[in-house]
Every structure is written in structure tokens, then in C-alpha cells.
Structure 1
Amino acid sequence: MVEFNEIHCRCLVGGQVQGVGFRPFVYRLAVEEALAGQVGNTSEGVCIELQGPSAAVERFLRRLHDELPPLARLTRLERTELPVDEALRGTAFRIVQSTGRSGHSVLISPDVGICPDCLREMRDPGDSRYGYAFTNCTNCGPRYTITRAIPYDRATTSMACFPLCPRCAAEYGDPLNRRFHAQPVACPVCGPRLWFVRASDADRGAPPAREAAQPGQALAEAVAVLRQGGILALKGLGGFQLACDARRDEAVASLRQRKNRPHKALAVMLPDLEAARACCALAPEHEALLCSPEKPIVLCPLREDVAGGGGLSPLLAPDTDSLGIMLPYTPLHVALFDALAREAPLPPALVMTSANPRGEPLCLGNREALARLRHEADAFLLHDRDILVRVDDSVTALFPGDRAEGAAPFFHRRARGYVPRPVLLDLADAQSPTVCGAGAQLKATFCLTRGKDAFVSQHIGDLENLPTAHFYEEASAHLERLLEVRPALFVCDLHPDLHSSRWARDRARAEGLPLLPLQHHAAHAAAVLAEHGRLDGALALCLDGTGLGTDGSIWGGELLVMELGAVRWERRGQLSPFALPGGEAAIREPWRLALALRELLGQEGLPASWDEAGRPSVAAWGADALPASARRSARQQAPLLRELLRRGVNCPLTSSCGRLFDAVSAELGICLMTSYEGQAAIRLETLARRQDARPLDAGEDTVEALLRPPLDDGATWQLDAASLFALAQRDAARYGAATAALRFHERLALGLARLAARLAAMTGFRTVALAGGCLQNLLLARLLVRALRAWELHPLLPRELPPGDGGLSLGQAAWGLCAWRSGRLPSAAEA
């Protein structure tokens, strides 16, 4: 006779529930609640069948939500009541094998940094995995980078070629062991192995016979190279990395010379928090991010005594007072640091940078690395676990809102540890089509939607060379296979000549699908609004370098009105336009921009600091601020450029906020020529942060005077860029470059907030989305948030994606979903 309170139900669970210890967690809960039934992976998710007292079933379901394993995430739970099954009564709960060819509703976990349990085993001389560089369990280790298909089972990963030894097989098959169905599980007997190759022997880089492999010897030889100031290429989690001693100037200088990276900051890996605290002034939020399972690179303020007592080379980040640091996130990193620490007077510190020659994609395989990196590395630390997906390190800073935001990361680059975790879109549902947002040209990503989930790819890079373009196409094909989706609609940038736009256009034509072009800054705005679920009317400040505008000019400092749900937007404010003398050459040589603004203001001559005998106004950068070549170029080319400006020849107009930063930086003698994107603005921000804040002598009236109302109904409000530039000149003459840099940031933030307040009063919209690469200037971001709140406006910053072009593909995909829902799509023929 069936007991009155006995029930039988089936629960279908979707989310990040494979390879994260979810099934053994379910098994343990069911055993503790004395329930019968089973759990297994299916093509629709994880299926849990339960039978037992109703109170125990309900308690199980509450605990399922409240006690999830650290890496598990639930996005869906569908419960179906079933008749009580007499055959189940009194039986033990079971874990059954996966069924179905794939896992359409299941999310693959990102790669996860080594957990405390595995770290303890690696450092226990009595443990079988002592010092083993591929230790992992269900709470840590590689996931996305080794996955070919789903369900996430060993046979569909690059671990398929490593048969389990009896001991690992027993752990893998024990539901109460933390390695139960941990697909990369391995040990020194049956798992991947290390070996060492010198660059001079790169042609003989094949792995030695297993019997001859000596991982301890390989590590010892790698350590010897690093201690001697050499450069080591090691096979990391999502690709190869180049490492050198971060405490030795000659090693860092050699790495810079070989990578042709003279100034751009280099990330540093430190062994633990104590070593990190010795180098950087860490807030609790920094430490929480460094120690999180994702283990990103975190931008942290350098201690003032780093160059002297801190022990790190001053060549690591010459343009900024912050340093990107990370902790060891793989067992291989741990093993290398443990070996380096033996008999070392100071904790080891290693530059750990991506091994991607000439801006191309990361090296993936051993043969590829030996061929491409032989002139950059002195030696190689290799292993035989294949990397299937290239994924670079993520780069984060502290969220620029209130301290109450806690350790929320503010992304500069989103990749390892976070991809392929989706962004949840409230504007979609299970029946929504798959939309592909093709992304931008620089810092490219793409986005694929599946139901309510938007999957933004890992950082791809700049699509300006063929290998990176191939990586983009390779990554999109892989993610489509993994998600089992095919786009029904493509959305691309308005600029037709970007690689991403051409790729989307060619695919749409070949597959007979519609294509929507979306203006660059509208996509930025849509990304932030979609992430926050704002489909109604809002404003958006989009501040970045360049993007093709609907009028054919180059935009970059825009105030938009957007109703995402209604698929409507318009530009209602901007920075006043100024010229780019020589087009793209002005981006590489900011002195051209300063010259253009001086011409716009009717100023003759050049700044005194550009003279041959002049000294840089910022001693921190020495000759790098005013290289002789830049001074000669400015003096020689100024007359010609002034003539071109007067005639309007090869001098396109721009409203770019990024270019205004460049112009002010050059005018103040901070950076006349750049060796990497954003260098002039980074130096300007760094100088401003060093200056003690003091109130502006120009109050609200001056800021109000910077606004220019529209001349007619179809025009936009403008914030006068030339006047902002002139005020920076005035402040530099009165107070020096540092104060001028800070006041430029303050005036820009106040002026943009005032512009937004004007438009808010006209439209009634109080929400202001903040987007664009200029928001990675944390000083500007914080000042903008503060200024907007002073006008009782509600600023929104991106939380799950970078504010720059790395997050733009989400906005394209969200726009496509809204257009599909509203029926506002072109036909395939029109596309």
C-alpha cells in the first residue's frame, strides 16, 4: 500500500551542471534524505528522478539550490510529477551513465584555478600526486579549453587518450570521491607528462619515451633558465605563455625587445597573497578577486617603494602606477613556483605574458610553439595534454562604483575563468532564434544566443592579420558546435570593411539569412542596457576611440537615446568635432591631434615642451614622453599639416573622446607618439591620479559654458572639445601638467554629466548607460558615476563584459533579438 506522503517526481536541470561535481552532490543529498531514484546527464540537461516522503523530497529540492558545489550554476529546473513506482520503493539512489548524443541545455564550465584540496595534495610529500603538474578534481582544472563536444565526458575531451590507471579509475567511479567523473583526472602513472627543450634543440622537440620522462628534471632545467635571466615558453591552460624573472631588469628588457613591446605593461605572477601585498597596495576586494576560482589578472596599485624595496623591475609597467598581477592558477604554475622558491632569497616573481608573436593568436600546440617562438624563448616547458580552444588570461580591475559593489570584477579582457559562462537576457525566451553578433575589429569577440543565454566568446584580438581572422572563424565554428546552434540572423558593425562585418555578410548571403548592420556606439549602448534588462527608454554615454557614424564621420564621444525593446535609437549629444590630420596616422602620433586643436583655436606655433631644447613636462617618462623623432616630425610637418587642415584634405572629422585624451596628453608633453593603443591616455590618467584632488577654480558656470545647444531640430547638443583642450592648456600654464591632467578629467566628467542632465530633462529618461573603451580609465569612470548621481541620474556600467569593444557583440545580438521579436527585419535578399 502506498504511503500517503510518498511522492515520485522528475526534475530536469539546466545550467553549469556538468564537470562541476553536480551529480555526486545530488547523489549525496539523495542518500542523506533516504530517497530512491537516479541522476544522469541527458541531451536536455541533468535528469533527477526522486521517490520518497514528500517532506524529504521538498527538503532535497531546497538543499539543491542552497548547497550547490562551488562551480555549479542552475539556470532552469523543470519539475514533473509522476505516479509512485512500486519497483523503486526501498531501492538505493543511483548515478546512471549519460544518455543522448549531446547536451543542448547544459553549460560547459569555464577553466577553473587550482582548488585548496588539490594544492594541499601537491605539497604533501606523502601523497601520490605530490608535485604533479596536472592535478585536478571536480572543483578545479581545465574545462572549456579541453572540450570537443557535450555531454562533457572524458571521451569528448583531450583527456580521451590517457586511459585511467586503477587508482584514478576507482576515484573516478566513486560517487563520494571529489574526483567522481572529474573528466581531466590524472596522476603521474597515467596522466600527461612534462619535458624540457632548449630553443637550440627545437627541431628535436618530440616527447621522450614515457619511461624516460623525468618531470622533476624538466622543472629543474626550466628553473635554471629563469634564474639565469632567460625567457621560458611554457604550455599553459589555453595556450603558451612567455615567462621571465620579474625582478631582473635585463630579463624584462630582453623580453620586451624580443616581443617588440617597448612600453605596454606586462602581467606578473606571484606565488601567494603575501608576495602580492609586498608589491601592491591591496584592498580586500583586490584580494578576493585574486583568490577567486577564476584567478584573473587583477590591476592593482603599486606600492610606492616597489622600485626600491619591493624588488620588482620598474620596466614592468613604465606608463602606469598599477600592475596586473595574478596568482598561480594551474598545478604547473604551482610546481614551477615551488621549484623556484627553493633556496631563493625573495619570493619568486615571474612575468607571465601571452605567447602570441606579432599580435597573432596564442600558440596552441607543441610543434607550433617550437616553430613560432624559437626566436622569442630560450627554452620550452612542454606537455602532452592537447589544448583544443585558445583562451587568454582575463584582465580585471575593481568595479568603479561604490565600495558596496564588493569584489565585482570590472573587465578589461574577459576570457579564461569566465568564458563560456553566458549572460542571461530577459528579452529572450526558449523559443527565441539564435542570433550572432559579429563584434568589432579591435579586441574582437562574437556572441551567440541560445534561448535566454547569450554566449560571448573569449577575447579574440585585433582582426588586422590573417591568423587572428582565422582564429575568429575557428572559435565561432567551435562554439556553434558546442552549443548545437546555427544562427538565424546576423548583426554586424555599420562599417562594411571590418573583417567581422565581411564575415557576417558572407555567411548571411551563403545561408540565405537576414543581416542587420548596427552603428558601433548603438551596439555599445545596447550591450549595457541588455545586460541590465533595460528595454525601456534610457540614455547612453558612449566614449571610445573610433566608430563609423551614420553620417559617415568618425564618432567616439556620443550621447544616445535608446529604447532597446522598441528597436529605436538616435544621437542627441556629442563632443564637438575636430580633425584627424592624416587619418589613422593621428592615432599613432597624438601630437597631430594637439596641432589640429591648436589650429581650431587659432593658435600659432608649437608648445614649448616640443622644442629641441625643451624638457618633458612629466619627468616620470623621461625621453619617452618627447622622443627626438616626434619633435623633429612635429617641427618639419607642422606647416604642411596646417595647410591640409585649412583645406580639409585627409583630415576627417571626429567626435572621439579617446582622441581628445590623446590630444591633451600630447599638448601637456606627456606622450607625443605611441607604441600601443591607448598609451597617451593611460599616461594622462596616471599623472592625474598622482595629483591630490582640489576643487576647480572654474565652477558650474564654466562647465555650463562648454555646452553648445543644437542649431536646429535635427542637430545635437555638443560639449565643446576645443574649449576643454584650451582649459587644459591654461591649467598647465598656471599649475603644471599634473593638475591640468586631473582638472581635464574632472571637467570632462562634469560636462558629460551636464549634457546628460539636459537630455534627461527633455526626455524624462533618468537611466544613463556608460560604455566604450574610455570607461576603462577608472578615474574617468568614477568621476562620471559621481557627477551623474549628483544630477540624480542612474548610471549603469557593464558588470559581466568589458565596456570597450570586447563587449560590443552582446549589444549586437540583443538588438537582433529585439528586432526579431518586433518583426523589424530585412529579408535575406535585402541583406
Structure 2
Amino acid sequence: MRLCVKKNIIKTQEIHISGRVQGVGFRPFIFNLALEFGLKGYVSNDELGVIIICQGENIKEFFDEIHHKKPKSSEIIFSEIKEIETIEIFENFFIKPTEKNIVVDIPLTPDFATCESCENELFNEKKPRYFYPFITCTQCGPRYSITKKFPFERENTSIEAFKMCPNCLEEYKNPEDVRFHSQTNSCPNCGIQIWLKDNQGNEFKGSNKEIFEKLALELSKGKIIALKNIAGYLLMCDATNSEVVSELRKRKRRPTKPFAVLFSGIEKMQDYLEISELQIQQFKSSESPIVVTKIKEKRDLPIDEISPNMNSVGAMFPYSGILKLISKIFSKPLIATSGNFHGSPICSTTEEAEQILGKIADFFLHNTLEIQHPQDDSVVKFSPKHQQKIVFRRARGFAPNYFFAEELSQLNKEKNKILCLGGDLKNTFAVVPNNHIYISEYIGDLANFETYQRFENTVKSYQEIFNFSPEIILKDLHPKYENQNIISKFSNVKLKEIQHHKAHFSAILGEKKLWKKNKVLGVIWDGIGFGTSTEIWGGEFFLHENEEIIRVAQLENFAWILGDKMSKTPKISALSILFDSEEKSCKVAIINSIGQSPMKNETEICEAPKVRNQNYLKQFFDENEWKIYTNLIEKSEVKASSMGRFFDAVSFVLGFEKSIHFEGESAMWLEKISQDAFDENVKLIDYLEEENFENIPTKKLFLKVFEEKLLGKNLGEIGLNFHYTLIKAIEKIAEKNNVKELAFSGGVWQNALLVDLAIDVLGDKFSLNFHEKLSPNDENISFGQLNYYLNLM
């Protein structure tokens, strides 16, 4: 007869925590907190985040304290505690190694700005990491940019190549050390090495401090440096030297697009810039983006070379160790722009940098850290009056996660693996490989071959990180977008097409959780997007109601000619709108002339404004151009409602009479002169006040702007009233459609003046929704495609 021995069952609690809990010092935090509470058990990374098995008293209080004291850079989006049965008795609390080959279902960890503690060490001669550019701890340093795969363990990153020395290993194992269990821990003895060479291949030998002192000397001589930062190369030069700034423009082939400027700290920024407390918070945040900020005065900054035709600059705080060192040693402001030729992706390897940037840089500061995910710096702006946040570029520090999307994930009931290709200009893509949504960093214009390669490589890296192959691919309606070339690399996928501007609208509906609202009017204004075979869209009003998106109004169409040339040549947009306006203008003139004395005949009435307007425009075209363009306009079967091209046309009439070198250039100039007028509190005039319309009357409004210019009115005031009239048009269309909830998306809504006017004019009557987590430009298309598919298809 066999005896059955009953084993003791120990009361044990299992805690699961999901969110941004890997690569943020969460396990060492849990370890030390568990010791405080006298608990036994372990903490480990798993596929869903962090798992804690614990035995002891006061576990519920321990669970609550996790949420109250969690690491600064962490984000908890789900947590649960439950009792489990186990026969295992733990003698202590420990960090358990992560199991091999798990497929993660958590947010990825972005790069973090260097923390204050590490910065103090960086400049402390008595510390071992004095002048070590890659100083990090559990709370700061590169993460996403060096990640090969997840979970976030040293062996899954580029840091794996650097084996910890005895001192680093001792810190890693010491629960009382700030680098306890820091996966990126390294020092000058065992870590990343830097070296300086000129573009002829001559290397400068010396300590880290001597290398930075040599760099500062060369910068003071007017040299251009290519410096490898944590996520890619930056091109740098003395921002107070107008000649070298101009030379950098020439070499980089970037004639007019503004450069970012690196300042050594907040105090130095305040000498040059008008910065608010909100902006200071952004600079000091773990993301530390570039912030577009108004210049106080010119001082010794050649603003005309740094930011042509603007009175603002993209200000950069030294967020990494390497930037802190160079900006400290070289005390003056520095140009810090992406290490590339204009339009190409940022360089990230030594070979790539020397091959491509060798024609730009005089010196190279290289390092031995391998970058897995090259990224540009993120860029944000706050509207001057209402401090509404506007994202210009979402990349380092923000990408690739999208938090607070649980509701969207729940709509994917069949757990389909989805790839959203986004747009072709300012591309991002989005993937749903699990229960989370990942939106890639800003990739750029896919018409550039190297940028397209970066797009393909980044998609591939996501496949590897998540062991992911798409079952559904979402694409734009445009039949010739470059990103569609990647579709052939996948088999057995379902393809779904989503219209460009409906994707924009869906993006803001998703970001602001408006899908369950009964009636929302989307004001979707951008450059261009494929509407139909005969229509280019870009000035759209959509109504979301009863689980449908319907186009209810638009910017009145005008002739679309010459494709990309029209997008880069504002005078063509002006000609298209004005030339197409003459017939209506004539009819208005006839009506207005009735009863006048002496009575003018119909021909005179029509010819006078027509001849005058055409004569004004003719001076900007040669005879051949005029003949060809006007003929194309008359015969054009393709029409456009592009708000972007409308802004180009108005900018041209008011003085922007050159070609566009970067997208949005003319509109930024128009915003600047109009903002100057707004700051002077001039009286606002609605140019369409007496008009009753279904669609914004493009030609009528443009003729009014044209007339004001010819009458010699102040150009800034005309521009301001143009902006104001558009906002009043939104008000009329919203009232006509009986809506109270407005949502704004599309690149035009990066215009801070337009945003401030919208808040002023519409804020009391309507609920207003602007992008804050995503950029309003085409970067949000991929997220919008996902939203549209999950909610409406």
C-alpha cells in the first residue's frame, strides 16, 4: 500500500505589469522596493512586460507603491495582481534572467536624454566617466537606436559588443548603485571609443578631452564637423560665423531650409530666444526634441543665413553626452543639422558618413557604437498665443510607440497582423504585430532612393523584432506611391486602399478618441492627395456620422497642371487660380456696374481688370511659358482643391516670388509676415463676410487678396486677413452642417498662426481637436489608415 504525502502549498502573488517597463530601470526598481517590503521571490522581463512572483506580507501595499514610485521614464498601461499556488519557497528576492526567444508584446523603449546625475559625472574629474560621451544609467541613454531585438537585454543591443570591465560589472551587480542592472552600462575602459580625423584621412591622437578641445579649435577656425551622435551623424559648425553657415548650405545643397541651433543650456538659450516655461519643460524632458522658438534679437547669430526669411529657429538642447561635451567646450551656439545631403536619410555608419559627408565635412568625429535604427531629431512648436503643441517631426525620443491605443487594439478582434504603408512624402509606416501599435520614426520622402531603402530596411527590422509577417496591408489610393513596391515582398496578404485625406481625418479621430462621437467635422487641409482620377484633393471638409465619413465641402477647385513643378513654383498656382477666375470676375464687374454713370459697355468692364491682372502676372513668365501654361490651364481636365497650393498662390502675390526649395517654404514665409501683423493687433477683416457659400470660393478670395495687393495695402495685414477669412469659412461650414465638434489634420495645420486664430474665433462655439502626439502632416497617414480600417472597413 502506497502512502500519499501532501506537499505544502505556499500563498504566492503573481503581478503582471505591461507598458514601457523594459529598458527604464524597472527590474532594479522592483528589486529594491521588494527588499523594502521584505518580500521573497523574483522579477523578470517577459513577453508582456514584467512579471513579479512574490511571497510575504503587505504585497497589496507593495503593488500600490509600484504605481506611485515607478521610474520616471516608465509608462504603465496595464497591471494585475492575482494569487497563484506554488510549492516553491523563495529564500530571497532576485532578478531572474529573461527566457530566450520570447516574442514580445510590449511598447519598445525610445532613446532617453542624458539625466542630470550622469551629466554631473560627465564633468567631474574625480569620476571614472569624466569626458566619456556615452555615459548612461537605468534612466537615460540610447535604447531604440541600438536595439536589435526585444526584450531589452544587453545581449539584444549594440552594447553587447562591449564587455563590462570589473568596475562596470560591480556597479551592475550592486543594488545601491544607479547603474544596478543597467543594460547599457559602459565606461572609457571597456566601452565605446571615439576618434577624430580630417577629410583627408589624417587621425588626431589624444584623450577624449583633448579630442573635444581639438574639435572646438577647428570649429572656431570655421570648419564643418560631421559628428556621430547616438542615433546618427550631425553636421555642425559655428552658428555665429555667417560665412561657414553659408558654406554649409552650399555643400549640403540646402539653400533655404532652416538649420537647428544647439545651445549649451537653458541660460544660453535665454540670451538669444524667447522661451516659455512650457518650452523649457520640453528641452528638459526625456525626449528633448528640437523646439521651434522665436529669436529675441539678432545679436551675433546670423539669422538670415541660419533661418532665411524667418524670425524663429529650431533650438536644440544638448540631450546626449556627446552633445553636452561639444557645446560645453565650444561655448558659442552651434549649427546642428542632420548628417546627410538635403532629402537623403541621415548617415549612421563610418563608411556611409565618409563616402557621403566627405564632400561636406572638414572633420569627422566617429565612434564605435553600431546604430540599429538611425533617426532624425524630433521637432515641435508651440503656437505663440495659446501655446498649442504642434509636432513637426516625430522621431528620436517619441518613436516608435503609440500609447493609449487600447480601444483601437480591441477592434482588431481577429488579431490580424497589419502593415500600414502611410504616405510617400514624410513617410512613416505603422504595424500591428501583437496587441500594440508601433508607428515608425519619420523616414522621409520615398522618391529618394536611399530613403526608400531605409524604409524597406526599417520594415524588415520590425519583422525581425516581432517575428512578424503582415496578413493585411493598408495603402493609399494613389497608384504610383513608391511604398507600394514593398508589397511584392509579401505573399498571401489582403490589400486595402484608403483615401489620403480620409486617413488624415481618421488619424485625428483616433488620436483624440472621437470615433464614438456622433457628429464630427474634419477640416483636412494639406498639399495634395489622390482624390479621384480627375481630382487632386487638399482642402477638404468631412463629416463623421453614423459610422460613415462623407465629404461635405471643399476648397473650390482650380486647374491642376505640371504635377510636381506646380508644387515647387508658386507663380503657377497663382496663374491657375487667377486665369481661371476671369470669367466670374467679369460677371461680378458687370453686375456691380449697373446704374453707374457714365454707363460702360460689357467689353470695357470685362477687359479692364482682366488686362490689368494678366499684365501683372505676365512679368513673371517668359512668352513661351505664358503661352504653354495658359493653354494647359484652359484644357486641364484635372482639378485640385489643394489648400497647400492656395497658400503658395497667395504667398506669391504677396511677395514670395521664387521657387520653393522645401515643402511648405512659401506658407512658412506667409505665416511669418502675417504673424508679425497679428502681433500688432491690427483689425481683422473677413474678406468673404457677405458671402454665403457651400464650398470655400477659392477664386473670389484670391481676387480679393490680389486687389488688396494692387491697392498697396500692408502685405502682412493682407496675409493675416487671408488666414482669418479661412477660419471664418470653417465657422460657416460647421454651422451649415450643424456640428459642434471640429477635428483638424493635414500639413497646413502646422501653421501656428492658423491654429491660434482657430482657437480665438472658434474656441467658444465649438470643441476643437488638434494633433498633439502625432504630426498633422503626412506622418500620421499610416496611423490614420489603421484607424479607418479598424473602425469603418
Alignment match of 1:329 (pick from 315, 319, 324): 319
Task: Indicate yes or no: 2:440 matched with 1:457.
Answer: yes
Task: Indicate yes or no: 2:643 matched with 1:657.
Answer: yes
Would you say the 8 A contact 1:598–1:604 is kept in 2? no
1:614 alignment partner in structure 2 = none
Report the Cα distance in structure 2 between the residues aligned to 1:70 and 1:134, rounded to whole angstroms: 20
Would you say the 8 A contact 1:396–1:413 is kept in 2? yes
1:66 alignment partner in structure 2 = 68
Report the Cα distance in structure 1 between the residues aligned to 2:94 and 2:383, rounded to whole angstroms: 44
Residues 610 and 283 of structure 1: CA distance in aligned 2, closer, same or farther (over 3 Å): farther
Amino acid at match of 1:690: D
Quote the offset at 1:29 in angstroms.
1.3
2:50 is paired with a residue whose SS is: strand
Report the Cα distance in structure 2 between the residues aligned to 1:52 and 1:126, rounded to whole angstroms: 42
1:282 alignment partner in structure 2 = 275
Quote the offset at 1:766 in angstroms.
2.7
1:780 alignment partner in structure 2 = 754
1:527 alignment partner in structure 2 = 507
Alignment match of 2:784 (pick from 791, 797, 811): 811
Q: Render the CA deviation track for 1:393-413: whole Å, top value 9, x for unaligned.
A: 00101268955x6xxx42100
Report the Cα distance in structure 2 between the residues aligned to 1:703 and 1:644, rounded to whole angstroms: 33
Task: Indicate yes or no: 2:271 matched with 1:271.
Answer: no
Amino acid at match of 1:436: L
Q: Render the CA deviation track for 1:356-401: whole Å, top value 9, x for unaligned.
A: 2242111111011111111111110011111111111001012689
Task: Indicate yes or no: 2:474 matched with 1:499.
Answer: no
Amino acid at match of 1:719: I
Quote the offset at 1:218 in angstroms.
2.4
1:424 alignment partner in structure 2 = 404
Amino acid at match of 1:724: L
2:3 alignment partner in structure 1 = none
Would you say the 8 A contact 2:524–2:541 is kept in 1? yes
Would you say the 8 A contact 1:235–1:381 is kept in 2? yes
Quote the offset at 1:272 in angstroms.
0.3
Quote the offset at 1:609 in angstroms.
11
Amino acid at match of 1:38: Y
Quote the offset at 1:562 in angstroms.
2.6
2:267 is paired with a residue whose SS is: helix
Report the Cα distance in structure 2 between the residues aligned to 1:607 and 1:673, rounded to whole angstroms: 21
Q: Render the CA deviation track for 1:763-817: whole Å, top value 9, x for unaligned.
A: xx43221000000011112222333334x22221112110010111101112222
Would you say the 8 A contact 1:528–1:811 is kept in 2? yes
1:484 alignment partner in structure 2 = 467
Greater CA drift, 533-542 or 736-745? 533-542
Would you say the 8 A contact 2:114–2:320 is kept in 1? yes
Task: Indicate yes or no: 2:732 matched with 1:740.
Answer: no
Quote the offset at 1:84 in angstroms.
7.1
1:78 alignment partner in structure 2 = 80
Would you say the 8 A contact 2:534–2:638 is kept in 1? no
1:560 is paired with a residue whose SS is: strand
1:223 alignment partner in structure 2 = 216
Q: Render the CA deviation track for 1:224-267: whole Å, top value 9, x for unaligned.
A: 22111111001111111100100000010000000111111000
> Which residues of 2 match residues 111-130 of structure 1 at below 5 A?
111-130=111-130
Quote the offset at 1:610 in angstroms.
6.5
Amino acid at match of 1:35: L
Quote the offset at 1:310 in angstroms.
4.9
1:339 alignment partner in structure 2 = 329
1:712 alignment partner in structure 2 = none
Residues 295 and 696 of structure 1: CA distance in aligned 2, closer, same or farther (over 3 Å): closer
Residues 696 and 688 of structure 1: CA distance in aligned 2, closer, same or farther (over 3 Å): same
Residues 302 and 223 of structure 1: CA distance in aligned 2, closer, same or farther (over 3 Å): same
Would you say the 8 A contact 1:43–1:100 is kept in 2? no
> Which residues of 2 match residues 745-756 of structure 1 at below 5 A?
745-756=723-734
Aligned length: 750
1:171 alignment partner in structure 2 = 171
1:423 is paired with a residue whose SS is: coil
Structure 2: gaps spanning 5 or more residues: 1-9, 583-608
Alignment match of 2:355 (pick from 366, 371, 387): 371
Alignment match of 2:14 (pick from 10, 13, 16): 10
Give the percent of matched residue pairs that are identical in Structure 1 and Structure 2.
29
Residues 250 and 433 of structure 1: CA distance in aligned 2, closer, same or farther (over 3 Å): same
Report the Cα distance in structure 1 between the residues aligned to 2:635 and 2:495, rounded to whole angstroms: 38
Residues 164 and 213 of structure 1: CA distance in aligned 2, closer, same or farther (over 3 Å): farther
Structure 1: gaps spanning 5 or more residues: 1-5, 342-347, 612-629, 709-716, 825-831
Quote the offset at 1:215 in angstroms.
2.3
Amino acid at match of 2:180: F
1:444 is paired with a residue whose SS is: coil
Residues 151 and 361 of structure 1: CA distance in aligned 2, closer, same or farther (over 3 Å): same
Report the Cα distance in structure 2 between the residues aligned to 1:730 and 1:632, rounded to whole angstroms: 18
1:428 is paired with a residue whose SS is: helix
Report the Cα distance in structure 2 between the residues aligned to 1:609 and 1:142, rounded to whole angstroms: 59
Would you say the 8 A contact 2:225–2:235 is kept in 1? yes
2:554 alignment partner in structure 1 = 574
> Which residues of 2 match residues 242-281 of structure 1 at below 5 A?
242-281=235-274
Quote the offset at 1:583 in angstroms.
2.9
Q: Render the CA deviation track for 1:646-699: whole Å, top value 9, x for unaligned.
A: 233xx7321011111000011112334212211111111000001123333458
Report the Cα distance in structure 1 between the residues aligned to 2:576 and 2:169, rounded to whole angstroms: 69
1:427 is paired with a residue whose SS is: helix
Residues 484 and 725 of structure 1: CA distance in aligned 2, closer, same or farther (over 3 Å): same
Quote the offset at 1:297 in angstroms.
0.3
The TM-score normalised by the length of structure 1 is: 0.87
Quote the offset at 1:108 in angstroms.
2.5
> Which residues of 2 match residues 338-487 of structure 1 at below 5 A?
338-341=328-331, 348-398=332-382, 402=386, 409-425=389-405, 426-429=407-410, 431=413, 432-487=415-470
> Which residues of 2 match residues 36-51 of structure 1 at below 5 A?
36-51=40-55
Report the Cα distance in structure 1 between the residues aligned to 2:555 and 2:47, rounded to whole angstroms: 52
Q: Render the CA deviation track for 1:139-163: whole Å, top value 9, x for unaligned.
A: 1100001110112111111111111
In the TM superposition, structure 1's runs of 4+ consecutive aligned residues that sit over 4 Å from their partners are 399-403, 605-611
1:420 is paired with a residue whose SS is: coil
Quote the offset at 1:312 in angstroms.
4.5
Report the Cα distance in structure 2 between the residues aligned to 1:680 and 1:86, rounded to whole angstroms: 69
Would you say the 8 A contact 1:194–1:213 is kept in 2? no
1:344 alignment partner in structure 2 = none
Report the Cα distance in structure 2 between the residues aligned to 1:72 and 1:682, rounded to whole angstroms: 37
2:532 is paired with a residue whose SS is: coil
Amino acid at match of 1:477: K
Residues 84 and 368 of structure 1: CA distance in aligned 2, closer, same or farther (over 3 Å): closer
2:754 is paired with a residue whose SS is: helix
Quote the offset at 1:487 in angstroms.
2.0
1:159 is paired with a residue whose SS is: helix
1:828 alignment partner in structure 2 = none
Quote the offset at 1:738 in angstroms.
1.2
Would you say the 8 A contact 2:527–2:643 is kept in 1? yes
Would you say the 8 A contact 2:383–2:756 is kept in 1? no
Report the Cα distance in structure 2 between the residues aligned to 1:773 and 1:355, rounded to whole angstroms: 25
Task: Indicate yes or no: 2:38 matched with 1:22.
Answer: no
Report the Cα distance in structure 1 between the residues aligned to 2:615 and 2:113, rounded to whole angstroms: 48
Amino acid at match of 1:119: E
Greater CA drift, 588-597 or 251-260? 588-597
1:585 alignment partner in structure 2 = 565
Task: Indicate yes or no: 2:698 matched with 1:721.
Answer: yes
Residues 29 and 22 of structure 1: CA distance in aligned 2, closer, same or farther (over 3 Å): same
1:106 is paired with a residue whose SS is: coil
Residues 192 and 63 of structure 1: CA distance in aligned 2, closer, same or farther (over 3 Å): same
Report the Cα distance in structure 2 between the residues aligned to 1:401 and 1:439, rounded to whole angstroms: 32
Residues 26 and 590 of structure 1: CA distance in aligned 2, closer, same or farther (over 3 Å): same
1:798 is paired with a residue whose SS is: coil
2:598 alignment partner in structure 1 = none
Task: Indicate yes or no: 2:165 matched with 1:192.
Answer: no
Amino acid at match of 2:439: V
Would you say the 8 A contact 1:671–1:683 is kept in 2? no
Quote the offset at 1:543 in angstroms.
0.2
Amino acid at match of 2:352: E
Residues 697 and 135 of structure 1: CA distance in aligned 2, closer, same or farther (over 3 Å): closer
Quote the offset at 1:607 in angstroms.
6.2
Report the Cα distance in structure 2 between the residues aligned to 1:333 and 1:63, rounded to whole angstroms: 36
1:729 is paired with a residue whose SS is: helix
- Give the superposed CA RMSD: 2.3
Amino acid at match of 1:412: F
Would you say the 8 A contact 1:51–1:84 is kept in 2? no
Residues 312 and 523 of structure 1: CA distance in aligned 2, closer, same or farther (over 3 Å): same
